[in-house]
Structure 1
Amino acid sequence: VTCPHFNPLDPSFQADPYPLYAELRRDTPVFYSPLYDMWVVTRYADVAQVMKQTDVFSSVGSLQANVALPPLVTAVLEESSLGPAVLMVESDTPVHSRMRNVVNKAFTPQRIAQLEPQIRAITDELIDSFVNDGQADLMPQFAIPLPGRVICRLFGIPEEDFGLIKRWSDDFMELLGASGPEERLIEAAHGFVASQQYFLEQIRERQQNPREDLLTVMLPAELGGSAALSVSEATYNAIDFVVAGHETTTHSIANGLAHLFANPDQLHQLATQPELIPNAVEELLRIDTSVLGLFRITTREAELGGVTIPAKARMFILYSAANHDETHFPNPDQLDITRPNAREHLAFARGIHTCLGAPLARLELRIAFERLLQRLPNLRPADDGTRSQHFFMRGFETFPVAWDVDSSAA
């Protein structure tokens, strides 16, 4: 079963992938993409099965969208003193459990709850900077810096370094998408190597001065810390968590607002009934998730949705298509902030690789929507935002909005 016209980089797909997903779920729910040499999974039940059967559908070596980076790019990456990357997202049990146990201690519900006042303060400080202007581009002015500053605080990274972190995150995502022009990929590879040096220095600094932050929790035993991680594992995973920990939430803020703008009745309902926000966050994550899907590799020949997939095949597991599966979410393309099973979405994946930062993302999104709707009356789009171009991330580059400024309060 092949589908030659499946191309996540096609402009019409980037604009709106959901009509094609519906067609794929109906006609070829599990198919082979000759363009990318991988098998694509679109239905909820099949995606859930892949996430459960980690012995058959492995994460090892799976992270990149496009296996072959150009040789000049690989040459830059090989300059790294850390050796090949070992990421939790790219590992299976027992290596995965050993690494996950370290960071589970850090991402406790208590630690996340303690961040709430800080997240509120950062949110209000950002809104203060533009509240009287009546218009803003929410990407650079809000959606990027909010989760960015929160993640810096969590890891104990100086907030003034966030500009660097953001640039390196873009580089990391560029390498994972592996579809840009070669010059850009070479530049991104240099950025990734520079980020390794930075994080390695930050971790070594914790050896001298332990603090109440995540980098101290991740300090490897060989550097006098308590973490069952090698120095290389600690460094690579810190980079991965910092990137994943803000990039995804940034896009979820704008994706969510775009859907609320398209459903003004529900936007109004949310502004007047903030108690609906936690469930609305789940529904907004379901209807337009920022990570379209991630990858797996088969360890043996496998049967999925009535299709036989060969051993050593690369697979693209589309959370975003599963989140619109009408057999699980009736009327899936309609936003319903009161949807009873919204929380069953797969935006945070499931199983051993369930997103570590899900409680943090939920808290950030809840506070972001709450404060934006409360403080920016009649919030509305000022113009069409521009979509970002990426193989497996969905979001905006620009997101211009406007609201009513109370002239008497100025």
Structure 2
Amino acid sequence: MFLSSKNNLSHPPAIVEVKPTPKNGFFTCYIFLRIACAVFIFLFISCSSSKNETMSSPANSFGADLEFLKKHQKPLVLISPDDDSAQVAVVGALQGRVMTSTANGTSGNSYGWLNYKLLESGKFTPHMSAFGGEDRFWIGPEGGQFSIYFQQGKQFVFDDWQVPGVLDSEPFEVVSSDKSKAVFRKTASLTNYSGTTFNIVIDRSVETLSKVEVETAINFPLRDVKTVAYESINKITNQGADWKKETGLLSIWILGMFNPTPQTTVVVPFVGGTDHKGKINDSYFGKVPAERLIIEDSVLYFKADGKHRSKIGLPPSIAKPVMGSYDSEKGVLTIVTYDLDPTGDYVNSMWEIQKEPFKGDAANSYNDGPVEDGTQMGPFYELESSSPAKALKKGETLTHRSRTYHFEGDKTALNAVARRMLGVSLEEISKH
């Protein structure tokens, strides 16, 4: 900007009439030139301010993020079959993860959180390389006697926690790709805390959805709304000995990192009941403060501002196969749907030796924030879903499907989508 504060030009300057005389003619021209410049600056600032209220800054545009990714990775850009402005950036070298997406082309909002500093460094970091991405492939459980993130004999503390290389630093093979779909594969071997080894093949595909497919999936017509939607289908196939519950099982875990704002709220509907509120786990990183987690009869609201490290989880018995978030600052509604088995065995990821290792969560949300030493990984927030764990025989496959939808546009239309998918209005979400 030309001036240090907009307040200096909050009102156009008054025009002072100066009658020309032989002595003040030059001065008159000078005054009018100053006035004209001031008015121009005022209009420029006003227009810029208005534009910034409805559009993301260049640093957060999809085009800027895509150009950044091209400098440091080899992203595949997938495009919706019927809308070229709906685009998804996927990186095979980072386990085929969806890094970010947009509903409005290169100038539109970039929905996925990216760790610019780490991506630029090209390095992997201890414990976890948090490169970001709004749909990444992981495997559970994280904690407990069947964990694949802690080696046998180690303590369940952060210093001993390590994401396996196959989920963190090793690339997936790009099997095929076209305009709207990419397919990846990886062969891996994992050993859990109890010493059981799993030899597996991972197959993963990411595919964009057409607007018609979105309308069919949500059973609702989209008018005055821009959307980008994609589906990841994730599979693990047992290539070794039969898996047994007594020695540990694996599950598929899909996590999405998104950009937080002070006005972002996660919304998770659940099956209501007299004792169902008590089944929600809000103690992963200490009890979530009451003002950050509001639990009502059949829906919860979780603050997703990236300022307080906390996590929640819902067991399959009360979870519904949908969750989402609303950013009232940018006007972005995000919905995630996923496969759910209400009676399935879900792995427990608590960092402890567990009494019930298969009484875990089907859906989770994480809000990033500073740790004890003041450092912070993000900020970002996550929407996560898991598959049930199954005792696969050799050659058998476990599959988990997740779909991510982003909607922008007319607020009335967005409100209708929110009511349809989450059962609550944007106004209700914004209150929390």
Normalising by structure 2, report the TM-score.
0.24
More helix by share: 1
For the pair shown, which has the larger CA radius of gyration, 1 or 2? Answer: 2
Q: Which has the higher contact order (CA 8 A, sep 6+)?
A: 1
